[in-house]
Every structure is written in structure tokens, then in C-alpha cells.
Amino acid sequence: MSGAECMVFQQVIIHPGDIVHLTANLHPMEPLYSGPPHLDFDHPMVMGILNATPDSFHSGSRVNRDNAMAMAADMIQQGADMLDLGGQSSRPGATKIGPDQEWERIAPILQGLVDRWPRMTVSVDTFHAKVAEKAIRAGARMVNDISAGTLDPDLPHVVAEHGVPFVMMHMQGTPKTMQVAPHYQDVVSEVFAHLSERVGHMRSLGIEQLILDPGFGFGKRIEDNYGLLSRLLELQGLGCPLLVGLSRKSMIYNALNLTPEEALNGSTALHAWALERGADILRVHDVAPAVECVRLHQYLRGSQLGS
């Protein structure tokens, strides 16, 4: 990974069994360590999705304070490296809610996650500075912003103050408008240029730990999505780790005439192709198949390097 734009992080790898052993005798409000995480991308990682929303496009990802801990436990047991918790639906056509309502949705779940798994990297999926600030102070260790700091210009300043990793995604328009006639001359070049500008801005604020998401399905036609996936390697020229969010999206189920609930096999296929094209994080609804995909890809890479 190039160090010209992004620093290389150091990862702490925790296995599910270790978590139970390490936390068994701890007071739930006493974290094992403090400060932002340093993630080492020596191998691809899997991020499990927890949507504290009533209307996210895949019903299987929706959680509330009653079932969130059980779903998170399953994901961690299956090998998730990190969890991404959001309280705002970003499906096409979604209506934006305010930061107070968003925080009300995620606050009890975030507290439960941090108390039970203090070593787990929990990301907050938000574009509101107010939510990001509260979440970091409550124990979130990463911020994932679908707008790359454009919907709330104060959010990057919050990230800079706390020094947490920052995921920046490309999106044409807003969730409410993004799928209304999206258009590109060259989708890869335009996504590259936008993210490059965002990287430069974040660098000027002193943000070091940047992760980039090309934004599959966010203001893109099906041909744009597959064009991005085909040329994903080109985005490595930005020098930052790449997060890929393909799981159960319309580029899969519309292409195959399926529903999101039927799109697991297609998701796994695209995850394999994304890994081969340089993906560093897979953001997924289904952790176990994604972890298997990563492990098999490591065998493939090992055979290629050894030949």
C-alpha cells in the first residue's frame, strides 16, 4: 500500500474466544485500551452491517435494541473484523432524518456493543457531525460517511479532533435523488477525481487514517457499477485502503432478476472479484460467506506468489 496519501495501520486481531476470556472479569465501562485503532491491511477484512433503521433495503440487516447484541455476537463468532452501525437509511429514495433521531436509534446499541466487546472496532455510519461526535465519545472507533464530508462540513473536523479512521464514499447526489438519472462520461475517472479532492481536503485538516469507498449503487447505473468493479485497481492510485460495499445490492439482484434476500450467491461472487482487484475491506450483511471468501482468496494469492 502506498504511503504517499495514507498511512499504514497496525491491526489488532482478536478471535471470538479471546474476547470472552479477556472481558469476563472486566467492568463493562472499563475499556481495555483507549485511543483510535490502527488497522494493518496485511490481509482483507470483513465489516458486518448493523442497520438500526426500519427501512434499510435488506430486511435481514435491520436491528433494534432487542436483537442487535445477538446479531453482533453471530457476526463476531463468524469472524467479523469490525462492525458498522448506522441509524440512517441510505437506500435509493430514502428521506433524511435529523441527528437527534439518528442518535436515538443507535445510542443504546452502540453502548451495548462497546460494553460487551471493548476491543472490537465499531464504526458509526453517519454524515452528521453531531452523531459522529457523540458516537466517538461513547466508544465508536471509526466514522463511515457516505458523503465524504460534504453533507455536513463539520464532520471532518470531528474526525480530525479525535484521530479515528475515516471512511469516505463517493456518491452522486443524495440518497433521495442519487438514482434519478445518474450520468458519467467516465465513471472511474470521475470517482477517482472526486475522492482525490476529498483526500486532499482531509489531509489539510490533519486526518491521516483514510479509507475510500467507490460507492457502488450510490448514484450509479448498473453499467457504472460494473465498470467501477472491473477497474477497481485504478483506485489504488489514490494510495488509500479500499472499502467495497456490494452486498445484496441492486447491481446483483436486478441483473439476475432476484430480490435482495436471494442475492447472497451473487454477492459472494462479486466479493471474490473485488478481492482480486484490490479490495481491503468487504462491508457485508453475511459475514461467514465473506470470511470464507477472504480465506480462499488468501490461498489463491499464496499460490500465485509461490509460483
Question: Which positions are annotated as active-site residues?
Answer: 249, 283
Residues 31, 78 contacting (CB under 8 angstroms): no
Q: How far apart are CA 250 and CA 266, in angstroms?
A: 11
3-state secondary structure of 293: helix
Residues 289, 46 contacting (CB under 8 angstroms): no
**CB-CB neighbours of 265 under 10 Å:** 12
Q: How far apart are CA 117 and CA 121, in angstroms?
A: 9
How distant, in Å, are the alpha carbons of 43, 54, 241, 252 from that of 299?
12, 39, 21, 26
Residues 84, 125 contacting (CB under 8 angstroms): yes
Residues 156, 64 contacting (CB under 8 angstroms): no
Q: 82 has which bridge partners?
A: 47, 121
CA 171 to chain centre: 14
Take residue 141 and report the three cell numbers written for it.
Answer: 472507533
3-state secondary structure of 229: helix
Side-chain-facing half-sphere of 300: CA atoms under 13 Å: 10
H/E segment holding residue 166: strand 166-169
